[in-house]
Amino acid sequence: MTWQPFYVGDGRPRDVDLGAPPPWRSFPRAPLHRQFQPPEGLVNAVNAALALRRPLLVTGAAGSGKSTVIEQVAAELKLGHVLRWHITSRSTLTDALYRYDALGRIHAQRLERSDGSDDIAPFLRLGPLGTALLPTPQPRALLIDEIDKSDLDLPSDLLDVLERGEFEIPELARYEEDIVQVREWGGDDRHPVSRGRVECSAFPFIVMTSNGERDFPAAFLRRCVRYRMPMPTAASLRRVVEAHLEIDAEHSGPVDTLIAGFVERLAANESLAVDQLLNAVHVLTGTAAPGEADEREVMELILRELSRA
């Protein structure tokens, strides 16, 4: 089969079979905890964070598997589904703790003025961090992804919550009812909150990821167990590839050549992600692999340096 089995560019409608997608692009997304290959030292870093009840700050290049660490830990230790807080420059601590729809409540009060009802619960929802701090027998797993993308003050804002393991919802602290059932993040389960206080009983397992694009305050760093993802080697990348894809004898040599070239480019400080390598191997070894005339161009497209548009 040639490299153009789908789109030809002649504008003629045709029925096509796109075949199976890469395993990591099947939807709904399947967890990758079985495929993840922890690099040297990461297991000890995770165990130290678990023993000390401290967040684990994982630094490394994009696509190096930082955010997959917590999936494997949560699966192995039966910590439930992973709560996720993806950081942007607009992220705030309050939004991570809880969300309150004040306008929605005012609108409901106007509509229900005749019967005098005023239930605040439908307008409150815990955020990912707030849900992780609910009292539970087992710790919850929380991913704080790309914390280096945050506003400069956010890491410092986190310190008190991470130290005390509790927070207050002011709207509930002054509410007439002592106990309010509040929805958790990512689901419809409700949990009782007494006088607006949420206090954890088992400190959550928190993984914070960083691409290394900024420095953090010393006060923040000393409250974390820190781990830097090592530079991949040809052997470690081969294990990653084999964990995701079956490589037959016919393609073993070309895959090793592709991996060796990838490692050389990393050593030359080119910005590349491991998932780019997986994409390239999937195309190279697929039934619709490009022929000799197209292979170089296709590989250059897939393995284009991340610092280039």
Alpha helices in the chain (DSSP H): 42-52, 69-76, 93-97, 102-111, 128-132, 154-164, 170-173, 218-221, 234-244, 249-267, 274-285, 292-302
How far is CA 241 from each of CA 79, 126, 302, rounded to the nearest angstrom? Answer: 27, 38, 16
d(CA 228, CA 57): 8
- Which residues of the chain does CATH 3.40.50.300 include? 42-228
Tell me the CATH class for 42-228: alpha beta
The CA-based angle 253-247-64, given to 5 degrees, is: 95
For residue 98 the two structure tokens come to 């809880």
pLDDT for position 258:
95
Closest CA to 203 of 155, 144, 133, 145: 133
d(CA 18, CA 4): 11
d(CA 159, CA 74): 24
pLDDT for position 35:
82
d(CA 123, CA 132): 20
Is there a contact between 147 and 89 (Cβ–Cβ < 8 Å)? no
Strand partners, 59: 210, 228
Closest CA to 34 of 75, 81, 6: 75
Give pLDDT tens digits along the chain (309 positions).
Answer: 446 668 888 999 989 888 888 888 888 877 777 788 899 999 999 999 999 999 999 999 877 888 899 999 999 999 999 999 999 999 999 999 999 998 888 887 777 665 556 789 999 999 999 999 999 999 999 999 999 999 999 999 999 999 999 999 999 999 989 999 999 998 899 999 999 999 999 999 999 999 988 899 999 999 999 999 999 899 999 988 988 888 888 889 999 999 999 999 999 999 899 999 999 999 988 777 787 778 889 999 999 998 876
The values of phi and psi at residue 171, to 5°, are -60, -30
* Element at 84 (helix H, strand E): strand 83-86
Taking the alpha carbons at both ends of the chain, their separation in whole angstroms is: 31
pLDDT for position 72:
94
Is there a contact between 280 and 303 (Cβ–Cβ < 8 Å)? yes
